Amino acid sequence: MKWTSSFIFTSKEPPSDAETISQKLMHQSGMIDKLVSGIYSFLPLGLRVLKKVSNIIREEMDNAGAQEILMPSLQPASLWKESERFGKMGKDMIVFKDRHNREMLLGPTHEEVVSDIVRKYVKSWKNLPLMFYQIQTKYRDEIRPRFGIIRSREFLMKDCYSFDRSDNEAENSYFLMRQAYEKIFKRCGLNTSVHTADSGVIGGKFSEEFIASGDCAELEIGHIFKLGTDYSEKLHVYFMDRDGIEKPAVMGCYGIGVSRVIAAIIEGNYDNHGIIWPISVAPFLCTIVPVNMSNSTTIETANIIYEDLISSGIEVLYDDRDESAGVKFADADLLGIPYRITLGRKLAERKVEITERKTGKSTDIEIDKVKTFLIDNFRKLL
């Protein structure tokens, strides 16, 4: 991607309402745009990171044996009356009437909808165990949206639901998810600790929260619940067991705030100059910075390196703006791109300078060895 044909607008000043470092840096690097309080757009740079985090989550959910589905945001209130949860979320739940005067809501979570699917199809012990997940937008009209995308009113969540035949099997599903969560957060470059938690309106028998280390007071990024049979009894998710007795499925539910994870990664990976993305979620792996845009040899070499990296599938941002080196360096640091390839004075020796964002360490590399140098380093860091 060339900077001049991309939509990246950086700014020196953080927004006036910014309370956390992630909120400041996401605005300043042009990752997100605030529409109104607690409601954000992801701009191209932010969406690149969102997709990477989502894909890590997808891979680990698939590995754990969960199947991806996509449930609707619009839900009938009648289903929430069946589970006896309607009204329990208070004003956090966005409720309205459709044109036929039926009460509807924008889903803050999906236990009811997933149970409705399972009860229609699962009849026998042979159809279980079952795990469904989705990556989908949730709506919660938070009383105090704050910290940018950390506590917002519309956000992306990965929610997963397990249905088992017995407490023992449900225990196993819970353990598989707990393990998957540990892998996901590690791959995202997050340090997390697990704590027994209050289950709140979701309810159930037991729950644990994954808390990311970092400076923000709001750090919970994942929450896993052993639900037992409360939902399945109320919503009639029953199956015929091997012994001929009809039993309620034993449920679990598991949430990750996908957008919040991005903020948490920044809270744990930044310095005075900007974000320091872990390779696994970086919007671009490297950036090419020609110091002098009016020198034809510099531009020719930059183009050759750019094409070479692209043809090898390396995500590269080519800063082809006619700006000073200082501005470009500052923006590369702000955006947090793991490697900066600088085309400067060393070009006379057919060399470029490669600087690692995290350590600030620079190495002079011959032009035709740039690709192998980067690939070797990505491998070490992934």
Ligand X SMILES: Nc1ncnc2c1ncn2[C@@H]1O[C@H](COP(=O)(O)OP(=O)(O)O)[C@@H](O)[C@H]1O
User: Is position 257 an interface residue for ligand X (rule: CB under 6 A)?
Assistant: yes
Q: How far is the CB of 100 from ligand X (least distance, A)?
A: 30
- Residue closer to Mg ion by CB (options 189, 204) is 204
Stretch that binds ligand X, among 76-84, 120-128, 147-155, 372-380 (CB under 6 A): 147-155
Per-position x/- string for 78-117, each x denoting binding to ligand X as judged by CB under 6 A, each - no binding: -------------------------------x--------
Q: How far is the CB of 146 from Mg ion (least distance, A)?
A: 16
- Say how far apart CA 366 and CA 347 lie, in whole Å: 9
Q: How far is the CB of 256 from ligand X (least distance, A)?
A: 6
The one of ligand X, Mg ion, none whose footprint includes residue 257, by CB under 5 to 8 A per kind, is ligand X
* Residue from 24, 151, 340, 357 binding ligand X (CB under 6 A): 151
- Residue closer to ligand X by CB (options 154, 331) is 154
* Residue from 24, 48, 165, 223 binding Mg ion (CB under 5 A): 223
- Residue closer to Mg ion by CB (options 151, 223) is 223
* Residue from 255, 274, 278, 338 binding ligand X (CB under 6 A): 255
- Residue closer to ligand X by CB (options 80, 155) is 155
User: Is position 155 an interface residue for ligand X (rule: CB under 6 A)?
Assistant: yes
Q: How far is the CB of 22 from ligand X (least distance, A)?
A: 12
Of residues 177 through 216, those in contact with ligand X by CB under 6 A are 200, 202
User: Is position 52 an interface residue for ligand X (rule: CB under 6 A)?
Assistant: no
User: Is position 229 an interface residue for ligand X (rule: CB under 6 A)?
Assistant: no
**Site residues (vs Mg ion, CB under 5 A):** 223
**Site residues (vs ligand X, CB under 6 A):** 109, 140, 142, 151-152, 155, 157, 200, 202, 220-223, 255, 257, 259-260
